Structure 1
Amino acid sequence: MNLKYVGLSSLFMLGISTNIFAQKPEDTEVYSPVPAKVTPGKTIGSAPSDAIQLFNGTDLSQWEDVNKPGQPANWIVSKGILTVNKQEGNIQTKEKFGNYQLHLEWKIPKDIDGTGQARGNSGVFLASTGDGDNGYELQILDSYDNKTYTNGQAGSIYKQAIPIVNPALPVGEWQFYDIIWHAPTFNTDGTVDKKANVTVLFNGVLVQDHYELTGETRYIGKPYYKSHGKSAIKLQAHGDKSKPLSYRNIWVRNIP
């Protein structure tokens, strides 16, 4: 529409104020609040200056045993790499989180055996809500050339959301997730106020686009919510007999 040829009466009918002719560009320029400065990582995937380094290659001081809260995590740390210890079970962060940005890198061993869900199975629970496998799981699995149910392959929200595409690399190569997690909120009576949602980039490729979760991960049955507050981030030691996978470079940023 060319306002030059529109009469004033027409402007009023369209709900357009004649004050637009008196406005200046600076009227819509905002100078406060000023975003905090954050220094990005020096390489792709490295932690920015405001990140919490959950695993920096040296120790598990940020982690605890899921089944023995307060007890040190007992997975294997060697040469800057964290390897799952299936005998010890799942581990979780000591710190609890609400909304966050998470980066983690994982590798399935090149000489892995097994098929389907018994091939490099692990998972990152975006919010751990109890012992064992309670919470909301983003699946980790060999999905390069390994047939399984599609809502259980790498990049899926386990038993809920099939990934948009499959950007998995062959076993023996490092792969990574970048995750934006918005935790659910609950009313005082325990009912859901706002469902959780998650965005996931798998090897830099979008596989979950602001997906709204229907509840916690359930191996059997439909997912459902139960009330909880801030939660730990959990890594799974899956019970299959295949060789364990490894992690490195895990960091998180709180989202206000």
Structure 2
Amino acid sequence: MKRLLTVIGVFAALFASAQKPEDTEVYTPAPKKVTPAKVMGDAPSDALILFDGTNLDQWVSVKDKTKPAGWIVANGEFTVKKGTGNIETKKSFANYQLHLEWKIPANISGKGQARGNSGLFLASTGPGDEGYELQILDNYNNETYVNGQAGSIYKQFVPLANPNKKPGEWQTYDVIWTAPIFKEDGALQQPAKVTVIFNGVLVQNNVELYGPTQYIGKPSYKKPHGPLPIKLQDHGDPSEPISFRNIWIREL
């Protein structure tokens, strides 16, 4: 037995010595070339611009998808027009990287959930507020339930930190979204996953969602779906409306 082990050891050594560094080097397929933005936060060369500062041509009204988004565009940004309802992208997406900037008005009033409330729905599953919601809210100095503050996956995951800036300052969300996968019979095969960086701080680390956002009760995957639009919320509360700018997306 000892002799057999010695022979095996000799052959293993010979095999290892026959290998070269090149045996584990991979040259193809080469990653596609992407030109990064000159300014951090601006869109790279392969991004689809969802808002360029001039129009909402990439968006429609959720109330009537044959009509354009009715929010107000001015000075390189757009602002919620209360009462017009939610807006969503014309195009549907599966997996993506998204950059979005938002601002709570400096003269914001109210407290709790009534202080600049909106939502970024990472995939819009229906005509109302249904979807997977990343909360937008002023939480610089405003307490509320922690799974409903800015940076939370609403009613599911508390943010890992609170990097909110003061009202009146621009804030950023950078999102990596992995859409859920369903089997042919409609059963869930793989849940949705999301990573969120809020003002440069990681607040959601590849979390697996329990399902689309549910205001009352536990979320679950009730019906299968494919690629979906991205939605922004007109929450309709009395606080001053929220503004957005510099929105772009890279499909993954």
TM superposition shift of 1:168: 0.7
CA contact 1:95–1:232 (8 Å) conserved in 2:
yes
- Residue of structure 2 aligned with 1:237, choices 234, 238, 242: 234
- Is it true that 1:33 corresponds to 2:26 in the alignment? no
Dislocated runs of 4+, deviation >3 Å: 10-13
| 1:117 to partner: Cα distance | 0.3
Specify whether residues 191 and 10 from structure 1 end up closer, same or farther in structure 2 by C-alpha distance, changes over 3 A only.
farther
Once the two structures are TM-superposed, the CA of residue 191 in structure 1 deviates from its matched residue by 1.1
SS at match of 2:241: coil
Q: Please give the per-residue CA displacement for 1:116-145, whole angstroms capped at 9, x wherever unaligned.
A: 000011110000011110100000000111
Equivalent position of 2:206 in the other structure: 210
Aligned to 2:83: 87
Name 2:158's counterpart in structure 1.
Answer: 162
2:83 is aligned with 1:103: no
Q: Which runs of 5+ in 1 are unaligned?
A: 1-6
Q: Shift in Å at residue 17 of structure 1? A: 6.5
1:246 is matched with: 243
Task: Name the SS for the 1:207 alignment partner.
Answer: strand
Q: Describe the superposition over 1:131-182 as per-residue Cα deviations: whole angstroms up to 9, x where unpaired.
A: 1101000000001110000000000000000001111111110000000000
Q: Distance in 1 between matches of 2:100 and 2:60?
A: 17
Q: How many percent identity over aligned positions?
A: 62
Q: Offset of 1:10 from its aligned partner?
A: 6.7
C-alpha deviations, 1:33-59, integer Å up to 9, x for none? 011110011101000000000001000
Among 160, 168, 171, which residue is 2:167 paired with? Answer: 171
Q: How does 1:118-157 map to 2 (within 5 A)?
A: 118-157=114-153
TM-score normalized with structure 1 length: 0.93
| 1:56-95 correspondence runs (5 A) | 56-95=52-91
Q: Is the 8 A contact 1:155 1:202 kept in 2?
A: yes
Aligned to 1:197: 193
For the aligned residue pairs, the C-alpha RMSD in angstroms reads: 1.7
Task: Report the secondary structure of 1:19's partner residue.
Answer: helix
Task: Specify every segment of 5 or more residues in structure 2 that has no aligned partner in the other structure, as ranges.
Answer: none
Aligned residues: 248
